[in-house]
A and B are shown apart, each in its own frame.
Chain A
Amino acid sequence: GNSVTQMEGPVTLSEEAFLTINCTYTATGYPSLFWYVQYPGEGLQLLLKATKADDKGSNKGFEATYRKETTSFHLEKGSVQVSDSAVYFCALRWNAGNNRKLIWGLGTSLAVNP
């Protein structure tokens, strides 16, 4: 079945460090891929998405490229800030009609120290 695996946390970085959070998936066909972020005490927010192979999603300095050959969608940011401290979730949606079911990774907690 479809599944998402992302690197375990917690990840602790200093401000301005480079961030990579790995995400790989297993799916039939061509799923849509997402990164969501959950800030402390807040709901999930869509950070970025990519709907087909080689697409690059980007937002707020974060980027992720849909790699079909390696079934990956790694999240990167060149210079993290304290305000990026949150839990990051990788997810996929299997593209079958209007199916909206999201399959999630377990989340990676990021703490950025000043």
Chain B
Amino acid sequence: KAGVTQTPRYLIKTRGQQVTLSCSPISGHRSVSWYQQTPGQGLQFLFEYFSETQRNKGNFPGRFSGRQFSNSRSEMNVSTLELGDSALYLCACGLAGSPDTQYFGPGTRLTVL
């Protein structure tokens, strides 16, 4: 079966711009979580969506937002980009009732200049 798809894979933006990243989960997986991965901070949880509702949120400023659509696809948006937002953004999906099994996408590499 198809895996988790993230688009785009690479993105270059400048400070002050905004960006939208997309994640298409495995068919039937209704939970989508987002993580930011940087060399200094490692992997940090951004938020989790389930059935179009945000169920959990990490400690990121309000510039980071997300949503989930009825087909379980999810987007995250970062507004007013800062240099420190340069990172690999990963999404993970899972089935309802199986919180210990999550599948990760390849990530979107965002570079802010």
Contact = CB atoms under 8 A, between A and B. Distances in A.
A45 B102 contact: no
A34 B106 CA distance: 19
Nearest to A102: B45
A13 B40 CA distance: 24
Interface stretch (A20-28, A72-80, A93-101): A93-101
B74 interface: no
Contacts of A32: 99-100
Interface residues on B, range: 20 to 34
Interface string A79-114: 000000000010101000011111111110000000
A43 interface: yes
Contact of A93 (B31, B96, B100): B100
Contacts of A93: 99-100
Given A51-B100, A89-B43, A100 B31 contact: yes
Contacts of B99: 32, 93, 98-100
Interface of A: 32, 34, 36, 42-46, 49, 51, 89, 91, 93, 98-107
28 contacts: A32-B99, A32-B100, A34-B100, A36-B104, A42-B106, A43-B107, A44-B90, A44-B104, A45-B104, A46-B102, A89-B42, A89-B43, A93-B99, A93-B100, A98-B31, A99-B56, A100-B48, A100-B56, A100-B99, A100-B102, A101-B48, A101-B56, A101-B58, A102-B33, A102-B35, A102-B102, A104-B42, A104-B43
